[in-house]
Each structure stands twice: as structure tokens, then as C-alpha cells.
Amino acid sequence: MLWGTLLDYLVRSGDLTIIDARGKTHRFGRSGDAMKSTVRLHNSSLHYKLFFYPEFYLGESYMNGQLTLEEGNLHDFLSILAINFAVSKPTLPEKIAEKLTPLTQKIQQYNPVGHAQKNVAPHYDISDRLYALFLDQDWHYTCAYYTDPSNSLEQAQQDKIRHVASKLRLEPGMKVLDAGCGWGGLAMYLARVCGVDVTGVTLSGEQAAKANKRAGEAGLSDSVRFLQKDFRTMTGTFDRVVSVGMMEHIGAGFYKELFARTRALLTDDGIALFHCIGRLDGPGTTNPWLRKYIFPGGYAPALSEVTKAIEKSDLLMTDIEILRMHYAYTLRDWQQRFRANWKKAAALYDERFCRMWEFYLVSAEMDFRYLSTMIFHIQLTKDVNTLPIVRDYMVDWERAHSTSCDERCFRKMGKYE
């Protein structure tokens, strides 16, 4: 089994057993280790496919049922691989791929206006009933903010939008643009709690329709509206621009366009805030399985790629924060809810889809828990004097808008009844 030579090199901790397609057993790592997994291969072609292209065929073979788990679950198996990969040295193919990054990025992240909508449709325009199976009650499909890892998903998502809002210095009556608004949770929070007027834009028609319906049900249609539109085509002037989870769908080659549009939309004393998945290990490319099956055209950038574009935009970086582990906890909670509703998801689609979605959620958690992925916040202004010179205003705002205050707002909408 050719794949075994790669595992011999990679696996130093954990107890991993592979049963190949001929029924032969191969042992890797340390026998008796607390981390334990037994995997069976059902197709002999995986003996070499997983050696030459594990980044793609590991996920595809699991979703197709050609790789199954005899002992332990998918989380156990991928944890062993991720923990060992995190401390391994780059292989020759990985070094070659790194050299080719500037070329492959341009091909993989082709997201001009128009094409970007086609890329997000396979992920965001599927049934809302799927997302209802594992998201929180306010429909946030981005990294939550865990002031305590044991907090509920609902609390962590509300803490996230409060944390984001604290960096915007909002005042009643301001005009806010929510770029990549999802199902509208952040926009409605800002309108309810801060008294601002919010326009949300998303590339997904399903999201825009659902968000407008939610705003109507909450009695917020006069202060919040949602459009199916590419942010880069927006016109007008806004006091604030906020984006949570949109940059990942832009592509590094379009950051100049993104920040030029941001500057054009902001008032002279305006503030912008971008929340994005990022890479700690420098520029790279998106995992090929993830790119094909989950996020076509998607890319989590290195901070260096983003700041380089901002430096050329005439926008000023006024604050940067790195959030570690928060997405690992978010994905943990999404997985628990998805597994609990597996039969409902299979009824919507099929077992293959469920395995695909499970692999996506678990492998993403591994990236944030053991490898080189994080979340960053970048705050931007046009004028160096727009914001206070110390960060106390953020903490003060969060403390003033406690969970109990937010719950009172939600009760008015019937959320806690």
C-alpha cells in the first residue's frame, strides 16, 4: 500500500490502523495511544491515490463510502492526521506547490463580478432547511465568539455580533452597509440595539429572501433591507461598512477592487470593519476537495496579502485582532447539531451529502484547532483622528450592552418565549 509510506513518515503520535482493500492490516504511530482510529479502504486505487493526492482523495473517498471507519469516528481519524501534520516538515510536492502559488491562486480564485455569484450558489443557495439543522436560532453562519469555551452556540454568536458592533462606534441614525449579510442576524441586531439604518448585500438569492422575511417578521423593514448584489457594484455613501465572512469569497486578486470600493462608499469620518478567515503560515491555496465540493473560488488569505492591498487603497488600518480557537469551538458545536439531525439532513439530500458535510465541518475544525487557520478583524478609516487612540471604547461598549440587554431585545421579537 503506497499510502502507507506517507503515513510511516507522517504519523508519530496516535494509534492509527489502516485495513487496505485486500484486507491487510497496517499499523502506524504508537500502539495503545489514547488517540485511536481504524480505517478500512474499499477500493485498491486508494492505495496510490491517497499517496499522490491525499488533500483531495481523503475527503472524496469518505463521502463516496470508499473509506469507512471501523473504530473511532471521523473526528478521531482526522485529529490524528492533523496533529501529526502540524509538526511535520514539508514534503517535496508541498514545496513545489508553494512555488506555484502565485500562478495557481489566479486560476483558482477567479471571482470577478458576475462569476462570484455562480461560485457561491452551490453552497448558499441550497435549502435553508439544511442550515436550520445546525445553526443557532439567529442564523449566523460565521465564527462565533467564545468568552468561555463552554458557552452555548447561541450565546457565543450573540457575543460575536456584540464584539463586532463594539468596533464600529455607532450612533443612532447612521447608515450602515453590511457586506455579505448572510441571513441578516448582524444587520437586525445593529438596527435594534444601535438605532441605525442598515442595507445588507449578499450574492445569494436564498439568503436575501430569507433575511428580508425575517426583518419583516421582526418589524424592522423600515430600517433594514437586503439586496442580492455584489458589494463591488454598490453605490452611495455610508457611515459604516461592516463585513463578516465575505472576503473569503473575493479572492486575493480582487482585494484592490474590494478596498477601493470600500473607500468610495465611506464618508470622510467613516469606519469599516472586516472579519475574515485567515492563514497564519503565509499565502497559499485552498484545499482542492474544499474548493470543488464546498467553496468554489473560496480562499482564506494570509494577513500579509490583505494588508498589502489596504496599504495601496488610501485606507488606514486602525486596529487588527486575531481570534484563535473560536472557530474550532463553533465548528464543534455545528457538528454536534448536524450529527443529531443526520436523518433529517439525509431526508433532504442523501447519505453521501451528509458524509460530505460532516467531512467539511470536521476537517475545518482541524484547521483551526491544530493547523494554521485563524480569524482576523481589520478596522479601517480614512482619517487617523476618526477613532480614540486607546481601545477602551470597545470594551466599554460591550460591557454596556450586556447579554441581559440583548435578551430584552430578543423577547420583544418572541425569541425567548
- Residue ranges per domain, the chain? 2-89, 115-412
Mean pLDDT over 280-300 rounds to 89
Q: Of 100-104, 151-155, 247-251, which one has max mean pLDDT?
A: 151-155
Higher pLDDT, 205 or 224: 224
| Residue 114 falls in which region: left (phi positive, over 0), alpha (psi -120 to 50) or beta | left
Q: What is the pLDDT of residues 159-192, one digit of tens each?
A: 999 999 999 999 999 999 999 999 999 999 999 9
Instruction: Name the percent of the chain lying above pLDDT 70.
Output: 88
More confident residue, 394 or 204: 394
pLDDT at 94 over 70: no
Q: pLDDT-derived band of residue 410, with 50, 70 and 90 as boundaries?
A: very low
Whole-number Å distance between alpha carbons of 93 and 90: 8
Radius of gyration over every alpha carbon of the chain, rounded to an integer in angstroms:
22
| Whole-prediction pTM | 0.90
Q: What CATH number belongs to 115-412?
A: 3.40.50.150
Which is more confidently placed, 253 or 44?
44
User: What confidence tens digit (pLDDT) does each residue in 212-243 have?
Assistant: 999 999 999 999 999 999 998 999 999 999 99
Q: Which CATH architecture has domain 2-89?
A: 2-Layer Sandwich (3.30)
Cα separation, 6 vs 84, in Å, equals: 12
All residues at 6 or more sequence positions from 335 whose CB lies less than 8 Å from its CB, including other chains: 75, 134, 358, 361, 362, 365
Distance CA 387, CA 391 (A): 9
CB of 39 closer than 8 Å to CB of 19: yes
pLDDT at site 235: 95
